[in-house]
């Protein structure tokens, strides 16, 4: 044996096998550990990014909804507010934030759309013209994806001062604005609630129409209800 090894300077089969077994088990152990770290890491990253998306999406939507302008459409009979609320979309008029680079009144339309990766909450806006103020005539632009991924969003509405009222999925009282708007976030895959529903109160700001307190578009005296013109 000694003689042979000094002549050939190699390993015996047993040595090679033992070495192989040890290195194989060491490598296997390390690989399992490393891959579970990798899986866990991507899980953390996925969860954080979906949280971040939902949270910014909801914050932007809530910011918009709380600033809804009380502007009446005088052309329509009976008069109605510039506001449309459906379960999967909401359309209203706001004063755009100065930071957005757009000045003045804008229509804003928030809606959900099916995409390849699930459901997306989208925001588009269009300049609001008092002359032709209908949402149908709006030229939507500047599409922003507020949230995209495995979540679905739905809107519901509640009357002002209507604590015991039910949530409505379609807003049909066109002569008033809802007091509360609710956004429900569910997981698209399971339909389970992902986060508690976000309830947003519409800020009660002075209406431009109330420059003349007798104007039927000024709803300060009528509990938010638009009155028909008396003439």
Partner 1 sequence: MDKHRDGENGFTLIEVLCAASIAAFAIAGLYASLTTSLRATDRLDGHMGARITARSVLAELDNEPRDILRNRHGTSGEYNWDLQVEPASGDLARISPPGFQLYDLKLTVFWAPQGHIEINSVRMRQ
Answer yes or no whether residue 51 interacts with partner 1 by CB under 8 A. Answer: yes
The piece of 78-86, 108-116, 178-186, 205-213 that touches partner 1 (CB under 8 A) is 178-186
The piece of 28-36, 90-98, 127-135, 208-216 that touches partner 1 (CB under 8 A) is 28-36
How many residues form the binding site for partner 1 (CB under 8 A)? Answer: 39
Determine the length of the chain: 231
* Rounded CA separation 101/137 (Å): 22
* Rounded CA separation 174/84 (Å): 8
Residue the block writes with tokens 């339309």: 109
Site residues (CB under 8 A) for partner 1, limited to 85-124: none
Kindly give the pairing relationship between strand 141-149 and strand 151-158: unpaired
Answer for which of 90, 158, 168, 176 binds partner 1 (CB under 8 A) is 158
Answer yes or no whether residue 180 interacts with partner 1 by CB under 8 A. Answer: yes
Minimum CB distance to partner 1, residue 117 (Å): 20
Answer for which of 21, 34, 137, 206 binds partner 1 (CB under 8 A) is 34
Answer yes or no whether residue 36 interacts with partner 1 by CB under 8 A. Answer: yes
- Choose between 98 and 196: whose C-beta lies nearer to partner 1: 196
Closest by alpha carbon to 107, among 75, 73, 76? 73
Residue 104 has a CB neighbour count (10 Å cut-off) of 9
Sign for the CA dihedral angle at 133, 73, 100, 51 comes to negative
Answer yes or no whether residue 33 interacts with partner 1 by CB under 8 A. Answer: yes
Minimum CB distance to partner 1, residue 125 (Å): 23
Minimum CB distance to partner 1, residue 127 (Å): 29
Residues of this chain that interact with partner 1 (CB under 8 A) are 9, 19, 22-23, 26, 29-30, 33-34, 36-37, 40-41, 43-44, 47-48, 51, 54-55, 58, 62, 158, 160-163, 179-180, 182, 193, 195-201, 204
């Amino acid at each position: 044996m000694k003689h042979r090894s000094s002549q050939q300077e190699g390993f015996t089969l047993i040595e090679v096998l033992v070495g192989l077994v040890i290195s194989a088990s060491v490598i296997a152990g390390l690989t399992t550990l490393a891959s579970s770290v990798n899986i866990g890491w991507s899980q953390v990253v996925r969860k954080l990014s979906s949280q971040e998306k939902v949270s910014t999406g909801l914050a932007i939507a809530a910011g918009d909804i709380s600033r809804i302008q009380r502007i009446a459409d005088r052309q329509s009979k009976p008069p109605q507010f510039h506001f449309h609320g459906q379960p999967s979309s909401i359309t209203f008029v706001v004063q755009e934030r100065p930071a957005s680079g757009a000045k003045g009144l804008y229509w804003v339309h928030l809606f959900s759309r099916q995409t390849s990766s699930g459901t997306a909450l989208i925001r588009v806006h269009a300049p609001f013209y008092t002359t032709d103020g209908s949402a149908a005539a709006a030229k939507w632009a500047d599409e922003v994806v507020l949230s995209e991924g495995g979540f679905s969003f739905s809107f519901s509405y509640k009357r002002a001062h209507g604590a015991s009222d039910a949530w409505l999925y379609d807003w049909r009282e066109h002569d008033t604005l809802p007091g509360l708007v609710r956004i429900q976030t569910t997981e698209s895959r399971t339909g389970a609630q992902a986060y508690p529903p976000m309830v947003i109160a519409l800020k009660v700001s002075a209406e431009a129409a109330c420059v003349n307190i007798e104007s039927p578009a000024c709803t300060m005296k009528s509990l938010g209800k638009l009155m028909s013109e008396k003439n």
